[in-house]
């Protein structure tokens, strides 16, 4: 990390405050200059002296305690920082920031800064899932605030679930990746779809496919590592949210299309890795369909074609589609690219060993207006990084 990188760490009240002390240490060791503001609630868990020792700077906690009479502290700190990080970010500070409330040192500074702001939430699992908290997070995300999603595990309240502050090492790694040097996707808003969709037949049955979402989640993580603000729209999968990525869970093709359209206009790059069901039951039963004698059939309707829909709406966006094929890969993939008005189609033969659904590796061919490019068999995490660097280079985003 560049030694001149200045990070303002805002620490709000919660048991995870102790991790913030370690975060200051990790960031300082990485070469950053860190200054700390604490809320009065945070000071109930850890004393300012701990942060002072780690940062080697005075700790701020009172809006009216001006340590330098030549400047107004919260304005000076807001201007000084290259990056403002709120960790842990409680439901309280998220709500205040979303609604423009400035009643302490941290919230006045947040409203005064024009610099990039990251928030790392930490709270009880039910609080994190509360509609008001989710709405406040969405509001801030739309204003450009980046969120480092909490991890899952045992919480101080005794619950097990999502709400633990991400580990200091991981937060430091994300900051280093973003600010150590200009990344090709810095400032880009990237939307990734991943996993299967489920089309319900009745309350206990559905139509779906074998997609696990691994490739899509790898693409989302790689995009975040390359500096992008990433929204991951995920079908029903059993994967943890990539660090530094905003996740939206959906079930059906219709829900996925609605989610994609809600982010499409502001996006720069849309990567559609999801294996969306092509058909859905024409009539969804409200009660379980009982087994009957003889044959039975289900009348099906086509689902919405998400790639074709956004292809028609494309303005400045770069659109990347995936094609999982079993034969004539090149013919079908190039035809799909042209028909759907996609910039890139990434195709693979799912019948190939170690390159289909659920595997840890993949082997693909990228089709674009410039021709085709082969990527050999490699881990999906590595492939995602290689694909995004390739697309960035093609788009001139590396310069």
354 vs 385, more confident = 385
pLDDT digits (tens, 9 = 90+) for 299-327: 899 999 999 999 999 999 999 999 988 89
Output DSSP code: residue 58.
Answer: P
Please tell me the predicted confidence (pLDDT) of residue 389: 93
Output DSSP code: residue 196.
Answer: B
| pLDDT confidence tier of residue 143, bands split at 50, 70 and 90 | confident
Question: Which residues are catalytic, by number?
Answer: 157
- Structure token digits, residue 207: 């139509």
- Structure token digits, residue 150: 């909490």
Please tell me the predicted confidence (pLDDT) of residue 245: 87
Would you give the distance in Å from CA 398 to the centre of its chain?
A: 21
pLDDT at 139 over 70: yes
Q: Which range (54-58, 69-73, 80-84, 161-165) has the least confidence?
A: 161-165
Query: What is the average pLDDT value for the chain, to the nearest integer?
Result: 89
Mean pLDDT, to the nearest integer, of 109-115?
A: 91
Please tell me the predicted confidence (pLDDT) of residue 1: 42
Mean pLDDT, to the nearest integer, of 139-149?
A: 85
18 vs 115, more confident = 18
| pLDDT confidence tier of residue 213, bands split at 50, 70 and 90 | very high
Please tell me the predicted confidence (pLDDT) of residue 3: 45
Q: Which range (48-52, 130-134, 284-288, 367-371) has the least confidence?
A: 284-288
pTM of the model: 0.64
| pLDDT confidence tier of residue 295, bands split at 50, 70 and 90 | confident
Would you give the distance in Å from CA 92 to the centre of its chain?
A: 22
| pLDDT confidence tier of residue 63, bands split at 50, 70 and 90 | confident
Report the first-to-last Cα separation within the chain, whole angstroms: 20
Q: How many residues belong to the chain? A: 399
Please tell me the predicted confidence (pLDDT) of residue 158: 55
Residues 202, 178: Cα–Cα separation, whole Å: 46
| pLDDT confidence tier of residue 31, bands split at 50, 70 and 90 | confident
Residues 32, 24: Cα–Cα separation, whole Å: 9
pLDDT digits (tens, 9 = 90+) for 328-380: 988 999 999 999 999 999 998 888 887 777 788 889 999 999 999 999 999 89
Buried-exposed string 285-316: b where 16+ CB fall within 10 A, e elsewhere = eeeeeeeeeeeeeeeeeebebbbeebbeeeee
The pairing of beta strand 371-379 with beta strand 361-368? antiparallel
234 CB neighbour count, 10 Å cutoff: 24
Q: Which of 59-73, 93-107, 150-164, 227-241 has the highest mean pLDDT?
A: 93-107
Q: What domains sit in the chain, N to C, each tagged with a CATH number? A: 6-179 (3.40.50.1950), 189-395 (3.40.50.10300)
All residues at 6 or more sequence positions from 352 whose CB lies less than 8 Å from its CB, including other chains: 363
Share of the chain above pLDDT 70, in %: 94
- Structure token digits, residue 261: 């359209």
Share of the chain above pLDDT 90, in %: 60
365 CB neighbour count, 10 Å cutoff: 18
**Cβ 120 vs Cβ 137: under 8 Å:** no
Mean pLDDT, to the nearest integer, of 282-295?
A: 86
Please tell me the predicted confidence (pLDDT) of residue 393: 92
Please tell me the predicted confidence (pLDDT) of residue 89: 95
Please tell me the predicted confidence (pLDDT) of residue 162: 67
């Amino acid at each position: 990390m560049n030694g001149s990188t200045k990070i303002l760490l805002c620490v709000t009240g919660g048991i995870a405050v102790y991790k913030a002390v370690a975060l200051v240490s990790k960031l300082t060791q990485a070469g950053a200059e860190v200054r700390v503001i604490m809320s009065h609630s945070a000071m109930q868990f850890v004393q300012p002296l701990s942060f002072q020792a780690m940062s080697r700077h005075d700790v701020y906690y009172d809006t009216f305690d001006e340590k330098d009479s030549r400047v107004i502290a919260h304005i000076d700190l807001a201007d000084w920082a290259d990056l403002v990080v709120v960790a842990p970010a409680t439901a309280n500070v998220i709500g205040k920031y979303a609604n423009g409330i400035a009643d302490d040192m941290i919230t006045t500074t947040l409203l005064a800064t024009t610099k990039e702001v990251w928030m790392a939430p930490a709270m009880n699992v039910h609080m994190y899932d509360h509609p008001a908290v989710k709405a406040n997070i969405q509001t801030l995300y739309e204003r450009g605030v980046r969120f480092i999603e909490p991890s899952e595990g045992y919480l101080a309240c005794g619950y097990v679930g999502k709400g633990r502050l991400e580990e200091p090492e991981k937060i430091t790694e994300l900051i280093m990746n973003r600010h150590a040097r200009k990344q090709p996707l810095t400032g880009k808003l990237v939307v990734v779809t991943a996993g299967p969709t489920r089309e319900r037949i009745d309350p206990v049955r559905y139509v779906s496919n074998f997609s696990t979402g691994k490739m899509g989640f790898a693409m989302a993580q790689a995009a975040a590592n390359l500096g992008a603000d990433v929204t991951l729209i995920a079908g029903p999968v059993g994967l943890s949210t990539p660090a530094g990525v905003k996740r939206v869970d959906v079930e059906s093709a219709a829900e996925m299309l609605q989610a994609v359209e809600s982010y499409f206009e502001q996006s720069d790059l849309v990567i559609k890795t999801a294996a969306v069901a092509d058909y859905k039951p024409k009539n969804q039963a409200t009660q379980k369909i009982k087994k009957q004698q003889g044959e039975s059939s289900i009348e099906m309707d086509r689902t919405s074609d998400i790639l074709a829909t956004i292809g028609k709406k494309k303005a400045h966006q770069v659109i990347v589609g995936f094609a999982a094929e079993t034969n004539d890969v090149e013919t079908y993939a190039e035809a799909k690219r042209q028909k759907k008005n996609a910039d890139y189609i990434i195709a693979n033969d799912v019948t190939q060993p170690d390159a289909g659904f659920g595997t840890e590796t993949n082997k693909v061919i990228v089709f674009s207006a410039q021709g085709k490019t082969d990527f050999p068999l490699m881990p999906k995490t590595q492939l995602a990084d290689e694909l995004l660097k390739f697309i960035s280079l093609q788009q001139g985003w590396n310069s």
